[in-house]
Copies of this chain bind each other. A is one copy, B any other.
Amino acid sequence: MPRPRASRLDPERRQTLLAVAAEEFAEHGFDGASYNRILERAGFSKGVAYYYFEGKDDLYAAVLALTLDTLAQRFGAWQRPADADGFWRTLRERYFALTTHIVNDERSARLLRSMSQARTHPKLQEAWLRFEGPLVAWFQRVLADGRALGAVRGDVPESLLLTSLMGIGQATDGWLLEQWAHSGVPALQRGAEQVFSLFEDLLVPRPVGPPPAKRR
């Protein structure tokens, strides 16, 4: 957590510092980023830096908080749709908005991707808990709503579904970027379509009874 006095820091200098830090962290990840370099580039001395922030991890957390706030504002809160169809429609809409956003703001995207390191990093445990909570809660609410509407399967623990969903989301995120880099925007849209269909296949309730006979 940033020191309370951090709010008293000149907004402009604060803004500079966070921008420089965001760039550095996005470029090199948490471990790879050099705190000294950040401070030098932002024109901060060690004394000032440690006066306002507790350390490298604290600054990282501040940068992450800013990025996530922006993201949260952009996507707003989740509201329970009326029925299963509505559920999948809004979920799909959100997912496409997210992929578009990630492609358009690569710095934030790389920053967000660096979060996966944060989860296991001993010095970032505290920061991780602060962000994991809301994120997981959001997904949990979505899944719970989906179940209540019959749009999401109930035959498997919710925690497993959540884990799988986030794992697959993270993995395909990289895949989508590759598609985009190799074959441009149309491929990206096609790819997003296919990724989302995988989400559906994973979450949709299993048909009851014996598995359908192979057809063709």
Q: A117-B117, A120-B29, A122-B32 are in contact. Are A164 and B198 (CB under 8 A)?
A: yes
List the B side residues contacting A4 at CB < 8 Å: none
What mask results when residues 164 to 183 of chain A are scored 1 for a CB within 8 Å of chain B, else 0?
10111111101100000000
**A28→B31 CA distance, assembly (Å):** 13
Copies in the complex: 2
Q: Which residues of A contact B (CB under 8 A)?
A: 28-29, 31-32, 116-117, 120-122, 150, 156-157, 159-160, 163-164, 166-172, 174-175, 191, 194-195, 197-198, 201-202, 205-209, 212, 214-216
- A2: min CB distance to chain B, Å: 24
Q: How would you classify the secondary structure of chain A's contact residues: helix, strand, loop or mixed? A: helix
List the B side residues contacting A167 at CB < 8 Å: 167-172
B150 and A163: CB pair below 8 A? Answer: no
Contact of A157 among B170, B194, B209, B215 (CB under 8 A): B194
- A171: min CB distance to chain B, Å: 2
Q: A167-B168, A208-B215, A208-B216 are in contact. Are A198 and B29 (CB under 8 A)?
A: no
